[in-house]
Amino acid sequence: MIDQADAAEPGARDDAPRGTTRKAEPDSEQQQRGESALTARTITINRKPDEVYAFWRDFSNLAGVMENIEAITVRDDRTSHWVVNAPGGRTVEWDAIVTEDEPGRLIAWQSAEGADVSNSGRVAFRDAGERGTFVTATLAYDPPAGVVGKLVAKLFQKEPGIQQRRDLRRIKQFLETGEIATSSPPNPAPKA
């Protein structure tokens, strides 16, 4: 079977949304900030767009659901401080500034100057009728140490594209069921 994208003529325009196209690249504004990697995912969550937006917009909720988030400190209605686990037992930190906020529809942000990992992104919430909400998360970032850093992060399962897919599934589970399924025992043996 031939993939349509592979069958296209060389130089043919890919009309997929920018974040989902096979050769996705950050836009010129993101490139000016040094962000060289782009990832986007869409998931359907069986909740109304206003509910999903409200959960996401309270950034402190995300620290309890997203796997590698160490902490999120909400400073005001536009600024939050993020601490994220990175490969090799390290953490990376940045301040995120909300650049667009359309209740029930969209949240966009950009990291402040001096971030350990320069990043920007947006989360869009679209009504999916009886199915709930289509949530599309797009993230542009500058991997520390460039391509080599991105490969190391992938090896340790800490690369943002991998985490984005996992975290969206975790948010879906939490919002639909009130819990996150894991293979870990609920009460591991006490530490000695």
Rounded average pLDDT over 9-35: 46
Distance in angstroms (rounded) separating the CA atoms of residues 111 and 94: 6
Bigger pLDDT: 192 vs 162: 162
Rounded average pLDDT over 44-64: 96
Position 140 scores a pLDDT of: 85
Tokens representing 108 are 């966009």
Do residues 40 and 27 make contact, with C-beta atoms less than 8 angstroms apart? no
Span 104-113, pLDDT tens digits: 999 999 999 9
- Nearest 5°: the CA angle 74, 152, 94 is 15
**Is 113 in a helix, a strand, or coil?**
coil
Distance in angstroms (rounded) separating the CA atoms of residues 32 and 34: 5
Tokens representing 166 are 């996992």
Query: Is residue 39 over pLDDT 70?
Result: yes
pLDDT-based confidence at residue 84 (cuts at 50, 70, 90): confident
Query: Is residue 150 over pLDDT 50?
Result: no
List Cα–Cα distances, 65 to 86, 133, 134, 166, in angstroms.
Answer: 17, 18, 19, 10
pLDDT-based confidence at residue 85 (cuts at 50, 70, 90): confident
pLDDT-based confidence at residue 189 (cuts at 50, 70, 90): low
Distance in angstroms (rounded) separating the CA atoms of residues 172 and 44: 8
Position 35 scores a pLDDT of: 41
Tokens representing 158 are 């800490």
Helix, strand, coil in percent for the chain, rounding step 5: 30, 30, 40
Q: What is the residue extent of each domain of the chain?
A: 25-176
**Is 141 in a helix, a strand, or coil?**
strand
| CATH class of the region 25-176 | alpha beta
Bigger pLDDT: 44 vs 145: 44
Query: Is residue 11 over pLDDT 60?
Result: no
Return the percentage of the chain with pLDDT > 70, whole number.
65
